[in-house]
């Protein structure tokens, strides 16, 4: 991936930690940490993930995200204007509707 590692932890708007594993969402880029947040590397980028409002991690490879009401991603997944719940089981590389 061509993006540089994240070094400014103050710029993280959405962060979820589980033990020493963590994920952070910044402007559609999902970052991962496996050292308690000491370092962060980009693992996924998608314009569809810019509407993420909540991020939860339940292990090093599983997690959940809520996509904002009315966003293009929520409309695509739910065929309406409500929030969409997304899930991943591969460390955030791919996301799918949880419903």
Largest CA distance in the chain: 39
Boundaries of every domain in the chain: 12-97
Q: How many CB atoms lie within 10 A of CB 41?
A: 13
Q: What is the pLDDT of residue 1?
A: 46
HSE toward the beta carbon, residue 23, CA cutoff 13 A: 25
pLDDT digit string (tens) for the chain, length 99 residues? 455 665 555 454 678 888 888 888 887 788 888 898 889 899 876 655 667 778 888 888 898 888 775 556 555 555 554 567 888 898 888 888 786
Residue (of 69, 6, 14, 72) closest to 35 by Cα position: 6
Q: What is the pLDDT of residue 89?
A: 92
């Amino acid at each position: 991936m061509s993006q540089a590692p994240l070094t400014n932890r103050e710029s993280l708007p959405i962060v979820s930690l589980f033990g020493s594993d963590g994920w952070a969402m910044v402007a559609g880029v999902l970052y991962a940490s496996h050292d308690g947040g000491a370092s962060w590397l980009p693992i996924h980028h998608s314009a569809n993930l810019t509407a993420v409002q909540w991020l939860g991690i339940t292990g090093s490879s599983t997690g959940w995200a809520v996509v904002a009401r009315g966003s293009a991603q929520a409309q695509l997944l739910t065929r309406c204007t409500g929030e969409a719940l997304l899930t991943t089981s591969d460390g955030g590389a791919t996301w799918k509707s949880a419903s």
